[in-house]
Amino acid sequence: MTQHNTKTPQFFLTSPSKCPYLDGQMERKIFTHLVGDKAPELNELLTQGGFRRSQNIAYRPACETCRRCVSVRILADEFRPTKNMRRIIKANNDLIGTELNPEPTSEQFSLFRAYLDSRHRDGGMSDMTALDYAMMVEDTHVNTKIIEYRRRGPDSFITGKGEGPLIAVSLCDRMNDGYSMVYSFFDPDTEFKSLGTWIILDHISRTNIQGLPFVYLGYWVAGSPKMDYKSRFKPQQHLTVNGWELYRG
């Protein structure tokens, strides 16, 4: 059984592999394990330093010839939705999110599979099983939450919970300075509701309600159509060699 030092993190470097965002590029990652009592503290420190979490691993790009992966965080308190975003908020007023502990369900997995089969059939996660999904959700040593989105019911204003089928799900980490969005997915038949954008808007709202400053979006990659949407949520900061700086693009 592999043993991990829970007090002093050890960092490792992956072998080169094909970049999922830019054609003709190879990627490498530096990573460490997030285990033990210090995992939440370490996760916060590494997230603020440009790392992302996947299960109990924190990783960051360490490519030899490319530096186009840039960590992005939204300044939640200063954020003002665009006209199009206001339309998206209005279109989803019938939904409500319930924040839960990271416990996978068969309903979540069914929605996850429908989302992958519709939107990411050829992606790196396309062959994930129910067990893989369960590990993605519950293999965490930090303050992870899963948010289930359903339609509002007649008692939602009392219970704070939605009713009916599951519409969307977000897996995120709650930190002392905001939310770090890990992964989200939604019913592919509701594309007209722009749920990908709305889930981010909902996290900005949750961050503001709690009086916290940031929503961490992960990496933005200039030149990658997959990542273009992240640049729309302004004001935002990008992590540079000089620290977090306001993005003026």
pLDDT of residue 9: 87
Task: Give residue limits of the domains in the chain.
Answer: 12-67, 83-203
pLDDT of residue 120: 73
Fold exhibited by the domain 83-203? Aminopeptidase (3.40.630)
Amino acid present at 128: M
Whole-number Å distance between alpha carbons of 23 and 224: 9
Which residue in 7, 8, 39, 9 sits closest to 141, CA to CA?
39
pLDDT band at 206 (very low <50, low <70, confident <90, very high): very high
Task: Please state whether the peptide bond connecting residue 235 to the residue before it is cis, i.e. omega within 30 degrees of 0.
Answer: yes
DSSP string covering 65-104, please? S---EEEEEEEGGG----HHHHHHHHHTTTEEEEEE-S--
What are 224's two structure tokens?
């990658």
- Give the model confidence (pLDDT) of 61-114 as tens digits: 999 889 899 999 999 999 999 999 999 999 999 999 999 999 999 999 999 999
Whole-number Å distance between alpha carbons of 140 and 149: 22
- Give the model confidence (pLDDT) of 130-186 as tens digits: 999 999 999 999 999 999 999 999 998 888 889 999 999 999 999 999 999 999 999
Whole-number Å distance between alpha carbons of 177 and 191: 31
pLDDT band at 192 (very low <50, low <70, confident <90, very high): confident
pLDDT of residue 1: 41
CA distances from 121 to 40, 97, 127, 191 (A): 33, 27, 9, 16
Whole-number Å distance between alpha carbons of 203 and 216: 10
